[in-house]
Amino acid sequence: MQQLEALTREARALASGSYPVIPILSVNETEVGRQMTICNSCRYCEGFCAVFPAMTRRLEFGKADINYLANLCHNCGACLHACQYAPPHEFAVNVPQAMAKVRVETYADYAWPAALGALYKRNGLTLSLALVAGLALFLMLAAGLQGSLFHASAGGNFYSIFPHNLMVGLFAPIFLFAVLSLSLGVRRFWMDVSPGTATAAAMGDAADKVLRLKFLDGGHGEGCNNANDSFTLARRRYHHFTFYGFMLCFAATSVATLYHYLFGWEAPYGLTSLPKLLGIAGGVSLLIGTVGLFVLNLSRHPLQGDAAQKPMDRGFISLLFLTAASGLTLMLSRGTPILGLTLCVHLGAVMALFATLPYGKFAHGIFRSAALLKWAIEKRQPNSLQLGDD
């Protein structure tokens, strides 16, 4: 009789909506929860990165905790190579791999619009199709507008091939959509991980960790693991080349936009102009960074990370490389008959990059930055467990 009453109470609570809804964990999230429970007893890796101090503030790992920890992990591999419980041990602890599997789930789960989250699952194909579509669009436009792909415009003026307003009309909506999509996705993630209030100190701390890629130093400054258990700073350095190269290219485009709209100074700009100097420095930096990251990715230890995500990683690196290489080639092909063709390749690559920004590897930088901010906030709060701290 008592059991029946209890069941009736639960049924009423469910029907009224007052029953607490506990998010169901995916298989990968359950695996991270299992491994974090083992790590929480061991704590050998506490000094390696922010994941372990954040873990010690928890005794249980709900969905939001696991998503947060997964995005806090930089996949440096240090805890895999240091772990006495890593495979072939029966505990099979492989934190970087488990975190990587959950990370890509978070990108898909928080994607906006939700239906496009599926693009993460076949990201290599998505990137390829976007690139083909981008190239086809500009090749057809060039052929239609100029009657030929081999067009050497006077003074290297791109706008004589594609008018300025046409380029703005094509790129602005795609870029703004990418910004909107990433912003809404990371906002939902942020709401779920219940971050608390971001003080200036916390934001400064997080920005410092992001800009220095602090947690690719292995916790001891000698670097992370890549092919084996020896440390290397190469991954951190090539990440820096890539990140700052991307930012310099973005700065070049932004300055050129200001020149155009504020001062009426139209492209093409001279070799010593600010947009050109920023673009050249950014392009060269991107080339160095992407080649380095690609080589490191090829030699990555098979137990590190998630093999299923390699097409996404390599596809994104390759697209960045193509964007940089075609941009620099474009500059060198001024006044030659291949200018039109080079311009089509560059614009097609940039279009594919912008279109896939919210549904590919680029998202890791945004979500990881949010997780680092959460950690910067959290570690400034009292630890209710009093078991460990940063």
Size of the site for ligand SF4 (CB under 6 A): 25
Pairing assessment for the beta strands 224-225 and 231-232 based on DSSP bridges:
antiparallel
Q: What's the rounded Cα separation, in Å, for the pair 73 and 365? A: 12
The one segment of 91-99, 112-120, 176-184, 256-264 that binds ligand SF4 by CB under 6 A: 91-99
Phi, psi of 232, deg, nearest 5: -145, 140
- Find the binder of ligand SF4 among 82, 137, 207, 267 (CB under 6 A): 82
- Find the binder of ligand SF4 among 74, 81, 239, 240 (CB under 6 A): 74
Q: 102 with 29: CB under 8 angstroms?
A: yes
| Nearest to ligand SF4 of 253, 297 (CB atom) | 297
Q: How far is the CB of 214 from ligand SF4 (least distance, A)?
A: 10
Which residues touch 310 (CB under 8 Å, ≥6 apart)? 297
Q: What's the rounded Cα separation, in Å, for the pair 370 and 34? A: 24
Q: Helix, strand, coil: what percent of the chain each, to 5?
A: 70, 0, 30
Residue 53 contacts ligand SF4 per CB under 6 A:
no
- What DSSP letter does each residue of 326-364 carry, written as one string? HHHHHHHTTTSTTHHHHHHHHHHHHHHHHHHGGGSTTHH
Pattern 99-138, binding to ligand SF4, x per CB under 6 A?
x---------------------------------------
Phi, psi of 231, deg, nearest 5: -90, 150
- Find the binder of ligand SF4 among 26, 30, 43, 390 (CB under 6 A): 43
Q: 58 with 65: CB under 8 angstroms?
A: yes
Pattern 197-236, binding to ligand SF4, x per CB under 6 A?
------------------x---------------------
The one segment of 67-75, 177-185, 249-257, 326-334 that binds ligand SF4 by CB under 6 A: 67-75
Residue 49 contacts ligand SF4 per CB under 6 A:
yes
The one segment of 20-28, 79-87, 356-364, 377-385 that binds ligand SF4 by CB under 6 A: 79-87
Q: 127 with 133: CB under 8 angstroms?
A: no
Residue 28 contacts ligand SF4 per CB under 6 A:
no
Q: Which residues bind ligand SF4 (CB under 6 A)?
A: 38-39, 42-45, 48-49, 51, 73-79, 82-85, 93, 95-96, 99, 215
